[in-house]
Amino acid sequence: MPKESMTSRERWLAVLNHQKPDRIPMDYWATPEATKKLMKYLRCDSEESLFNRLHIDPVTTVWPKYIGPPERAGFMEPPVGSDKNIDIFGCGFKEMSYGVGVYEECIHHPLAEYETLEEIMHNYRWPSPDWYDYSVIPSQIMGKEKYPIQCYGSEPGWKYAHLRGHEQALIDFVLHPEIAHYCIDEIFDFCHEVTRRIYETIPDRVDLTYVTEDFGSQESLMYSPDLIRDFFIPGMKRMINLAHETGSFVFHHSDGAIREIIPEMVKAGIDILNPIQWRCKGMEREALKRDFGDEIVFHGAMDNQYTLAFGSIKEVHREALDNLRILGKGGGYILAPCHNIQVASPPENIVTMYETGCGNGWY
């Protein structure tokens, strides 16, 4: 194997600038249970040693410290002694075990009881960007010079579903568009200002900004293209422009069969498309590379609905090679699982994915 001549950050930035790195970068997404299992298998005592062992190019995420009202304790800071985690929007979460993993599910929707926009405007208190202390962020990137830095930009549809409940949120787009527009715009405004302040705190250091939304199901879009253009793209474009003005690249995540809306996302200015669930309808890798490979970078494409979880080592090896050949041709690809690796995935499969990428991704 050739000797590496780039840091992880240099490798990412080369790909994002449509240049060829020494090898294809490799990212890591997994549940805590899957990571613990993999570390035990490889006898690694830390995530850093795990990343070094598999030649993974990890990303460091920054976020300000919550200092707001105690009743909105912040998503990462649950109230002491409570099994319910209240986020800054007032949405309540509870850890739910599904046998193979524990996930936080939203169980309290603070806007579900309201029937009119006037009720929401009169009774609900939106979170403020002032509820965060941004001065802690520089310390979060100390010693991380070798790694790309990212911040979480926006995902308003996901948060709107928490505020109203998933079923009611979908109903609102058709029957109560004034409520949906108002709330989504408020979420975008909040995210825009928080992200702007993060940029100010560590100028020219945020490499990636997440401007995400889950638009796809296994077979098609979950929303019509017209609805996406109406409710989401204007706010996403505003977030994208902010990122580009500060030199940050835009990472766009959208699960499922989203082929129909990809041209709109590219036109809006996304730089990276994730997760490339190529088993979904219309998401064939060859066509995506042909139609969009000159404009965006592809991230993911290692299937964890079947291949990583239930496939053989041979199948994992072949899929990684196919991704390198198809999506990595001429550059523009970051190898990664097409969502969080689940604990059901055998460690042997995960190791095979990264060893194949490292052994065959050199330019």
Q: How many residues does the chain have?
A: 363
One DSSP character per residue, 222-281 reads: SS-HHHHHHHTHHHHHHHHHHHHHTTPEEEEE--S--GGGHHHHHHHT-SEEE---TTST
For residues 335 and 361, the answer to whether their CB atoms sit within 8 Å is yes
Tens of pLDDT along the chain (363 residues)?
A: 788 899 999 999 999 999 999 999 999 999 999 999 999 999 999 999 999 999 999 999 999 999 998 877 654 443 333 345 889 999 998 888 887 778 889 999 999 999 999 999 999 999 999 999 999 999 999 999 999 999 999 999 999 999 999 999 999 999 999 999 999 999 999 999 999 999 999 999 999 999 999 999 999 999 999 999 999 999 999 999 999 999 999 999 999 999 999 999 999 999 999 999 999 999 999 999 999 999 999 999 999 999 999 999 999 999 999 999 999 999 999 999 999 999 999 999 999 999 999 999 998
- Topology of domain 8-69+121-360, per CATH? TIM Barrel (3.20.20)
pTM of the complete model: 0.94
- What are the extents of the domains in the chain? 8-69+121-360
Dig out the tokens for 227 from the structure.
């609805």
Q: Which residues contact 93 (CB under 8 A, 6 or more apart)?
A: 75, 84, 85, 86, 87, 104, 105, 106, 107, 108
Angle (deg, nearest 10), helices 166-175 and 177-201: 110
